[in-house]
A = this chain, B = another copy of it.
Amino acid sequence: MKHYLQINDLDSLQQTVQEAIELKKEPTQFKKLGAGKTICLLFFNNSLRTRLSTQKAAINLGLDTIVMNFGSEGWQLEFEEGAVMDQGKAEHVKEAAQVVSQYADIVAIRAFAGLTDKEADEAELVLNAFKKYANIPVVNMESSVGHPLQALADAITLEENKTAQKPKVVLSWAPHPRALPHAVANSFVAMMKLQDADFVITHPEGYELNPEVTKGCKIVHDQEEALKNANFVYVKNWSNYQDYGQVKNTDSNWMMTKEKLGKAKFMHCLPVRRNVVVEDAVMDSDQSLCMEQANNRTFAAQVVLKQLLKDL
């Protein structure tokens, strides 16, 4: 693997999941693999789980880590080819990306969708510029349209908790007061397409994800029907895709409740708004896998870094 920009960059999801589960048994068993190598974590946006778990994964692999909040600590970047840089942007990403790659062996980047310009978001300006101009592997720590480390942690969690060979997994939209990106949902869908599962997406009409992402997926607008006999329910808000970045629906009937959940396991990437996205009774029950998902973030990051280090 050369970069980890999306879940499909993995040679094999199933093998990677197994490798992560092995790593988890003894997290420091590959401590020598990263010795003498440096990873640089660049944050263009806030982060809790990604920030800590990726650092922890790097520590477990013996990597030296440099963390930088690019927005507040660095320079504002220009992405346009041929720009006359006489405004606020002090550095072109061409230079920034190449320079960073001189000081590190791997670079991991978090850069959220702006949610105002669909085309710009889908162009993945930051990630693709680093892929193009940096000379080292690039890891996606959540970009405009994907969050493949989360999806990998979700896959590990599903594998560890499934009781049927082919479980029913439902991705259920939830209301939220603010406009959120599509990254987590997109990557979850992409990951589910690689799974042997009965996968259903449910959301209000008009809340379709990018049709290219959900191509071939079963979509049901009746949440109750979608949830029937589910083994796992993954709840997530996303803002409108067609009316890009708009909050068109905050219908609290779409909140996940213990009653709706039935006997299914509950999943969410966190942070989660209690009693808006999901009620306390679900979060505080044994059916919630959120903490396992968060814990698996370390091993998702670690298995990805391990694969990248092996191919360096």
A interface residue numbers (CB < 8 A to B) = 28, 36, 38, 40, 43, 46-49, 51-53, 55-56, 59, 64, 66, 68-69, 72-75, 78, 82-87, 90-92, 94-96, 98-100, 102-104, 177, 270-276, 280, 283, 290-291, 294-295, 298
Contact = CB atoms under 8 A, between A and B. Distances in A.
A248 to B, nearest CB: 16
A47 B73 contact: yes
A138 to B, nearest CB: 16
A293 B167 CA distance: 56
A20 to B, nearest CB: 15
A176 to B, nearest CB: 9
B74 A48 contact: yes
Contacts of A99: 48-49, 52, 270, 291, 294
A127 B199 CA distance: 41
A90 B271 contact: yes
A145 B47 CA distance: 28
Contacts of A83: 274-275
A69 B73 contact: yes
A295 B90 contact: no
Nearest to A36: B28
Nearest to A270: B95
A177 B275 contact: no
A38 B52 CA distance: 11
B38 A86 contact: no
A53 B99 CA distance: 9
B75 A52 contact: no
Given A87-B177, A103-B56, A96 B275 contact: no
Given A52-B103, A95-B270, A95-B291, 5 more contacts: A46-B74, A56-B104, A83-B274, A85-B273, A95-B294
A85 B52 contact: no
11 contacts: A28-B36, A48-B75, A48-B96, A48-B99, A51-B68, A52-B100, A55-B103, A72-B72, A95-B290, A99-B291, A103-B298
Contacts of A40: 52
A157 B90 CA distance: 23
Contacts of A291: 95, 98-99, 102
Tell me which of A38, A74, A99, A291 has the highest count of chain B C-beta atoms within 10 A of its own C-beta: A99
